[in-house]
Every structure is written in C-alpha cells, then in structure tokens.
Amino acid sequence: MEYTKFMSETLTGLGFRLFPVWNAFDPPLDLDHGWPLKLPDVDFEPDTLLLLHFQDIVTPTDRGIEELIRVEQHYGDRANQVLVTHYNHRLYRYYQGPLNLIEFNNHDYQIVLNLVQRQHEWMPQMAQKDQGWQCLNGRQCDHRYRAVRLLRDVPGGILSWGNDIPLPQWAYATYRGTENEDNFIRLVDVYGRSIVNIVTETQYDRAPGVVCEKTYLALLAQQIPIVIGYPGIVEDCVSMGLDMFQDLVDTSYDTLPNDQRVEQALLRNWDLITGRMDLTPYRQRLQDQQHWLMAQWPQKLRDDFVKAAQRLAQTI
C-alpha cells in the first residue's frame, strides 16, 4: 500500500478530519533558513488534523529546527492540531513544542519495497564476496574527501569519488536521473563482491540527521557496515533495530568531534578494512539482517506509525 493511502486510512479511521500536505517542502533548500513551506489555511474544527509531511531532511540551527519553528508560529494556538510526519530519526529529541511528530521514513521504505519486488535482479549476486571493501562517493563534500584521502592507496577495495575516481562499471556522470534502486542493481557486481561497506552518509556536521539509502543498501547487500555520518548516527541505526555488528566494528568514533570522526572511523577499523579479520562467523547474521529488512522492516514502520497515531488520537 502506498504510504500516503496507508497514513490517510489510519488517521481517518481514528476519527480525524484530515487535511494532508504530502510534500510540505518546496525547493530549493536554504541551508541557513530551511525549506520554503506549503502552509495552507485550514478551517480548524475540534476533529481537524492538518498533516504536513516533511519529505526530506530538516534544518537544525542554534535556535532549533527551522521548519518546525515556522510551522508553530504560523498556526499559533492551533499548532496542537498539526501533525508533522518526518524522515529525520527521533526528531522529538530536538523539539518539545505543541506540534505533533510521527516518524515515517517513506524514502527508504519505498526503496526497500521496490527492491523486494525486483530481488531476482540482485539477490543471487550477493553471495560472491571476494573483495575486501567498498566506499562509493558520488556527491563530493568535505567529509567524503577525508575518507577518500585515507582510502585511495589501500589495496583490496573499490573506491569512487565523483567523476575524479570513477567506477569502471558506471561513471558518476551517468547517475543523474537514475533511481536509487536502478543504481543499486547496475552496481550489483560491486555490492555483491565487497564484504565491508564504508558508508559515507549524506549528513555529517550535526544532528538530527537521516539514515539514507546508502546504509540500507549495504545491509541488503549482506555487508559489514562502517557508517560515517552525523554525530550519533550509529546509535540511531541501533535504535531502529539495525545490526551494526558492534562486536566486530569499533563504533567508538560515532560521537567524536567533526574534525576527528571520519579518520577515527577508518583507523579504529583498519584491520577490518584491510582484511585481517575472519568474517566467516558473521555470514549468518548478515543473511538474517537482509531477510529482516526485506520481510519485516517495512511492516515495523507501518506498525510504529499506527501505534503513534493511536496515541495521538487519545491526546487531541
């Protein structure tokens, strides 16, 4: 079921008169002030619920989450009848105002569902695993450059860096307009061969952030993840039920300062990256995680949404 239909049926079934805005962010993003917002005028009745779906990352600043501040200011004393559904994980840790928050990662939810439908195109290749590591960096930015600088002379791996270090299979210049699922399948040989995935995530400098498809694709590919992202991203992955293999991967880098986290993530796991550790005992866990993501994780997201919606219905 498409997530918009699922959300609508859940909330209307609980008695809400729902007014949804499924894409509340209107490009382009201003890095200092956040997204332009679609904020409709609503005739609020006691059973009215305005749903604003934040389909992308939010903008944290020193004064708080910019988009939430503006929504709250706009709706004033009716803000408690506004529901924000969002991509960022555990956003409630950074906002304690009257707006209602429910997390739903529709971005990766849909990618996983699509790949389940197309599993015959990629799953058979995931058992090869004759290559040490991969670290794919399409969009160029500072924290990814720092990882590339350390890895570019390390043997036994597959490294890309925009168009400067292209993949032989598919140059980054061909990526524009390609869906994430299609890109994963056309790189199936890379994902299928590499046992360790050094994931340089989208966001780095500050939380709250998002866990994007780069991490989920690594887990679907039965790879040991070394996830480098915003402070606390590994902790967030664990809280979502993902196995980060912390008995194998030294994740003590996860909350280090921005100027140290990239380098320490790699240096503290150098033996793992350079193939000096026996990964045979972890094969079953890698397979189990792949199965859980495909068979149970999408339902978990739906169940979590329903429970949160039921709690909301008891408070409004």
Per-residue pLDDT, 128? 81
Per-residue pLDDT, 130? 85
Per-residue pLDDT, 147? 98
User: What beta strand segments (E) does the chain contain?
Assistant: 17-21, 48-54, 60-61, 64-65, 82-86, 100-103, 131-135, 157-159, 194-200, 224-228
- Mind listing the pLDDT tens digit of every residue in the chain (316 residues)? 589 999 999 999 999 999 999 999 999 999 889 999 999 999 999 999 999 999 999 999 999 999 999 999 999 999 999 999 999 999 999 999 999 999 999 999 999 999 999 999 999 999 888 889 999 999 999 999 999 999 999 999 999 999 999 998 787 778 888 899 999 999 999 999 999 999 999 999 999 999 999 999 999 999 999 999 999 999 999 999 999 999 999 999 999 999 999 999 999 999 999 999 999 999 999 999 999 999 999 999 999 999 999 999 999 8
The answer to whether 188 and 121 have CB atoms below 8 angstroms apart is yes
- Hey, what are 242's tokens? 């993902």
The answer to whether 233 and 254 have CB atoms below 8 angstroms apart is yes
Burial of residue 247, with CB atoms counted within 10 A of its CB: 0-12 exposed, 13-18 middle, 19 or more buried:
exposed
- Find where tokens 């559904």 sit: 85
Per-residue pLDDT, 1? 57
- Find where tokens 């199936």 sit: 188
The answer to whether 24 and 55 have CB atoms below 8 angstroms apart is yes
Per-residue pLDDT, 171? 77
CA distances from 200 to 139, 150, 215 (A): 10, 13, 9
Per-residue pLDDT, 79? 98
| Cα 74 from Cα 94, distance rounded (Å) | 19
Closest CA to 201 of 223, 217, 185: 217
